Amino acid sequence: MSEHHQEGSAATITFPPGTAADPTQGELEFVGTATVLLQFGGYTILTDPNFLHQGEHAYLGMGLRSRRLTQPSRDETNLPPIDLVVLSHHHGDHFDRRAADGLDKALPIVTEPHAARKLRSQGFTRPIPLTTWSSQTFMKDGVALTVTALPGKHAPRALAPVIPPVMGSLLDFVRDGRRLLRVYITGDTLLHDRLGEIPRRYGAIDLCLIHLGGTKIMGVLLTMDAAQGVRLLQLVAPALAIPIHYDDYPVFRSSLADFRQAVGAAQLSTEIQFLERGQRHPLRAGGQA
């Protein structure tokens, strides 16, 4: 890939031409945990690669490990060619040893600065650190993809020194000045005040990949539970939401069933699509994910 400078932003990263796929059509596959394989606009994007097999343990820090309860639909051995990775943070259930050993060390990985440093220590040569509200643009076959870092809060302030920082991500696919698709990936965040800035800054969101699970460590909530997830969707009001990051580890204390119940009791303008691991959902341009 080559790079050229774009005034007022980080240098745009330009990929060589790909296959002649219809840039207005695509699909995503829910792999498991927060791992999604998203193919749209000619790009193939991997999020938060957690390829540990059922029964293997993720290291969560502070000497804690959690045993995976589910089997991912893919692992590092059966991926299509990946253009880039979007990584919310560097935690054992989001970037595990299988990902560290099996992914191409030259892959661009868009992430927050703490994770970028960790990736470099693991031999990855192309981490792209973003601070909140900053962006990186890619170009492939006439489609621009801009990834913007959004605010995330993984832990109460008291636990910030021992829980890695996290970012949400906004993915905007644009061709000839027309936005094809806008995707919000929440990352492992709690509901917090700065999330209200997202709809004020960006307006309509076509698809939200919402990290749930109600993760608790030592009794402290670290990711949105069902109630917080519903409140986020009321705040951001995406056209479509797909819940991810649930039921994979014992530290996930708020189940998908909890979220289904909370959604059923709420007044939501958002359509909810529930996917099994390995299930795919079509994507198309025009704000209709």
CA nearest to 36, candidates 106, 103, 90, 87: 87
Burial class of residue 78, CB neighbours in 10 A (0-12, 13-18, 19+): exposed
Per the structure block, which two tokens stand in for 197? 């800035």
Predicted pLDDT at 162: 66
Judged against a pLDDT cut of 90, whether residue 157 lies above it is answered with: no
Predicted pLDDT at 227: 98
Mean local confidence (pLDDT), 233-257 = 97
Predicted pLDDT at 4: 35
For 254-271, how does the pLDDT look when each residue is reduced to its tens digit (9 = 90+)?
Answer: 999 999 999 999 989 999
Mean local confidence (pLDDT), 25-45 = 97
Mean local confidence (pLDDT), 102-115 = 98
Q: Which amino acid appears at position 169 of this protein?
A: S
Angle at 264 between CA 156 and CA 33, to 5 degrees: 50
Q: Which residue has the tokens 């960006």?
A: 202
> Is residue 202 left, alpha or beta, with left meaning phi > 0 and alpha meaning psi from -120 to 50?
alpha
Q: How confident is the model at residue 161 (pLDDT cuts 50, 70, 90)?
A: low
Predicted pLDDT at 6: 34
Predicted pLDDT at 158: 62
Predicted pLDDT at 62: 67
Burial class of residue 178, CB neighbours in 10 A (0-12, 13-18, 19+): exposed
Q: How confident is the model at residue 288 (pLDDT cuts 50, 70, 90)?
A: very low
CA nearest to 277, candidates 2, 68, 19: 68
Mean local confidence (pLDDT), 152-176 = 85
Dist CA 86 CA 110 (whole Å): 5
N- to C-terminal Cα distance for the chain? 29
Residue 21: count other Cβ atoms within 10 Å of its Cβ.
15
For 202-211, how does the pLDDT look when each residue is reduced to its tens digit (9 = 90+)?
Answer: 999 999 999 9
For 71-86, how does the pLDDT look when each residue is reduced to its tens digit (9 = 90+)?
Answer: 999 999 999 999 999 9
3-state SS, residue 236: helix
Domain extent listing, the chain: 23-275
Dist CA 221 CA 201 (whole Å): 28
3-state SS, residue 59: strand
Pair 244, 209: CB distance under 8 Å: yes
Q: Please, what CATH class does the domain formed by 23-275 belong to?
A: alpha beta
Which residue would you say has higher pLDDT here, 217 or 69? 69
